[in-house]
Amino acid sequence: MDGWVTDAAVFAVDRYRHDIASIITDTVERWDAAETTEKIELMVGRDLQYIRLNGTVIGALAGLAIYTVANLLLG
């Protein structure tokens, strides 16, 4: 069953990729940015703050690691 579904999805994407991309592009272009942002924030709620905080911490740690490695390798 999984193979059949995978084959069908691959066929559909190969054959209709431009139509699918056009539908997605047209749909996203019609969205109002402020309204969409508000809806996402209401639906995601507190998790959005966690995601932002987590991204900041992970980004800072990644930057520190890159800086440390660069200083160790390049002096």
Q: Do 48 and 25 have their domain in common?
A: no
- Domain carrying residue 2: 1-30
Is residue 48 within 8 Å of 41, Cβ to Cβ?
A: yes
For residue 54, give both structure tokens: 């987590």
Q: How many domains does one find in the chain? A: 2
Q: Do 20 and 50 have their domain in common?
A: no
What is d(CA 68, CA 36) in angstroms, rounded to the nearest whole number? 40
Is residue 6 within 8 Å of 13, Cβ to Cβ?
A: no
- Residue 45 per-residue DSSP state: T
The verdict on residue 35 lying in a domain is no
Q: Do 23 and 47 have their domain in common?
A: no
pTM for the whole thing?
Answer: 0.43
Distance of CA 16 to the CA centre of its chain: 23
> What does the pLDDT average to over 13-26?
93
Q: Do 24 and 53 have their domain in common?
A: no
The verdict on residue 46 lying in a domain is yes
Residue 8: pLDDT band (50, 70, 90) is very high
pLDDT, tens digit (0-9, with 9 covering 90-100), for 30-70: 999 999 888 888 888 778 788 888 999 999 999 999 999 99
The verdict on residue 36 lying in a domain is no
The verdict on residue 23 lying in a domain is yes
